[in-house]
A and B are shown apart, each in its own frame.
Chain A
Amino acid sequence: MTVDQVKSALTRGVPGLTIEDRPRQVGVREPVTVTEVWAEIGREGLLPAVAALKASGPLHISIISGRDKGNEIELLYHFAVGYGTPGGEVMVTLRLNVPASDPTVPSICALLPGAETTEREKIEFLGIQFTGIPSTDHVFLPDGFPGHPWRKGDPETEKLVKRLVEWEGKDA
């Protein structure tokens, strides 16, 4: 799998997509260029992009990371396409911004069942709603934990941290 193959698969799935290459030199004796692919997509582009990646080679999802930007929540889908050959796997990161007032994203579990754990984690930590996800049970936080710890100024998390500080007498 080459970077160009991955990029053309992505643009086939989502025409007009702007793709950024992030190359770096790796190795000492025989340095090679390892290029990461980064692209920003809209909600409607997510499923076609993942389907296009899946069609282009063996697809692995490493993790979905994310952050609260205030009005928006940013999700980063870190995929790796094309495992199985030396140096043949390309990291692809899809950046998706959703409004904090309507954090709904289509679930990619139907295309890639291995994404379920990380999607469920984003429900707990960022309050994202995934349409079509097989289960919304908590993975890491206690059942019924009321807040979303990675949301800025989440009152429930602040209460929890305050209690910890009182118990431990240390900074959390």
Chain B
Amino acid sequence: MPDQVYEIPIGPIHPALKEPIRFTFKVEGERIRGVDIRPGFAHRGIEYMGMKRNLIQVLYLSERICGICSISHPITLTLAVERAAGIEVPPRAQYLRVIFAELERVHSHLLWAGVAAHELGFDTLLHLTWKVREKVLDLLEELSGNRIDYAIPIYGGVRRDITPEQVPQVEAMIRYYRGLLDELLDAFLRDPSVEARTRGVGVLAPEEADSLCAVGPTARASGLAKDVRQDRPYLVYGDLGVKAITPREWGLEPRGDVYDKAVVRLLEVGQSLDLIERCLVEMPEGEITSFPKIPALLAYLKKADGEGLGWHEAPRGEVIHYIRLEAGVEEPVVWKVKAPTYSNLMSWVPMFVDQEIADIPIIAASIDPCMCCMDRVHMVDASSEAMVQKEELLRLSRAKTERICRGGGPA
């Protein structure tokens, strides 16, 4: 009956997380019947700012689009500009970019695994994943000087090499995670209560993932073998022969639920370790940039005239940058950035429909959005008004987990 449908706005502000967003859920009892999604609260006009700055400054800006994807955006931007301006990248630099991109994928997927565990109420698992994530962050700090915002890609190459003394540290990191991966896979994928909370929850059918143009692990969990590294080769990903990972690699038919999204991300950690290892072996000696002097680079870019597209598979999916340069103008005439969550936004709608309120946190987190703004839940009813905080929503989620662990069914 229509008078039993409530509207629950969730968000937009959560001080602890990067990207605020507002969901307005239509609920009937415990069941979600529809959702309206409104992003834009973190829109900073970065593209507009970029079109007022020279390309070196744009590179710095691109690195600050996202703290977690802080290598994906500069890699994509440099690919687009190199295409527009006709700049070659030395082979060693191409391998180095891939190594950093895969290190980012390892830390990003581990971050997600921790968030997912927390949303389900398994804080021990959160602490385990985030503790082990420190290893890759320490390595990134050793290699680049920073835990995030590595300032590695530059037009024509990269800014820092991996020295022979650093190689054993990278190898040690690979060994460390290989030793842990089975334990993590066990903890997430062979745990009956994780399975009970994630199987059949937040399902995205393959037809929906295809028509809504979902990207990254969100699309792959639904069984689409859609991975930019495989489909549209760039850098040395073609040489490395990357294959899109779907739950089939884990011996399961894809169902497109939260469990499958965990399968894909955890297996991709192992895939990234393999790629880093191969890059270390295959990477040739040589120059790391074709423009060692920044003023020469800026002068060259000022003369460049053309347009270019760059693409990259970030941890969350496809990143695209389009750039248009005009001779004599330092600023790009057009700079368009597309991040993966932009493509996955619409996939949330079918994932939420007919699910329970207690599943909102894990479904929202399942696409690994650059946000999760559950601090303010506001229940609105024509006759009465009640406020529910984020803590209450988390409590509902955890109570459901506990109920399931004790053998009870869903409420």
User: Is A172 a contact partner of B39 (Cβ separation < 8 A)?
Assistant: no
User: Is A28 a contact partner of B239 (Cβ separation < 8 A)?
Assistant: yes
| Interface residue from B40, B49, B214, B233 paired with A141 (Cβ < 8 Å) | B40
Chain A-chain B contacts (Cβ-Cβ < 8 Å), number: 131
User: Is B212 a contact partner of A114 (Cβ separation < 8 A)?
Assistant: yes
Interface residue tally of chain A, by bracket?
35 or more
Q: Which residue of B has the minimal Cβ distance to A115?
A: B213
Known contacts A67-B334, A89-B232; A114/B40 CB under 8 A: no
Q: Contacts of B52 on A, CB cut-off 8 Å?
A: 171-172
Mark B309-349 against chain A: 1 for CB-CB distance below 8 A, else 0: 10100000010101010000000011010100011011000
Q: Contacts of B345 on A, CB cut-off 8 Å?
A: 117
Known contacts A117-B345, A142-B40; A61/B213 CB under 8 A: yes
| Interface residue from A24, A60, A139 paired with B40 (Cβ < 8 Å) | A139
Answer yes or no: B48 CB below 8 A from chain A CBs: yes
Shortest Cβ distance from B21 into chain A, in angstroms? Answer: 11
Q: Which residue of A has the minimal Cβ distance to B284?
A: A28
Answer yes or no: B352 CB below 8 A from chain A CBs: no
Q: Contacts of A62 on B, CB cut-off 8 Å?
A: 311, 318, 320, 338, 343
| Interface residue from B48, B230, B233, B241 paired with A149 (Cβ < 8 Å) | B48
- Total interface residues on B, using CB and 8 Å? 51
Shortest Cβ distance from A44 into chain B, in angstroms? Answer: 24
Q: Which residue of A has the minimal Cβ distance to B90?
A: A28
Answer yes or no: B91 CB below 8 A from chain A CBs: yes
A140 to B20, CA, bound (A): 12
User: Is B336 a contact partner of A24 (Cβ separation < 8 A)?
Assistant: no
User: Is A29 a contact partner of B342 (Cβ separation < 8 A)?
Assistant: no
| Interface residue from A78, A139, A157 paired with B309 (Cβ < 8 Å) | A78
| Nearest 4 interchain pairs by C-beta | A114-B213, A89-B231, A65-B336, A63-B338
A interface residues (Cβ-Cβ under 8 A, vs B): 24, 26-30, 32, 34, 36, 58, 60-63, 65-67, 76, 78, 80, 82-91, 93, 112-118, 137-142, 149-150, 157, 171-172
B interface residues (Cβ-Cβ under 8 A, vs A): 38-40, 43, 45, 48-49, 52, 83, 91, 94-95, 210-215, 224-226, 228, 230-236, 238-239, 241-244, 282, 284, 309, 311, 318, 320, 322, 324, 333-334, 336, 338, 342-343, 345-346
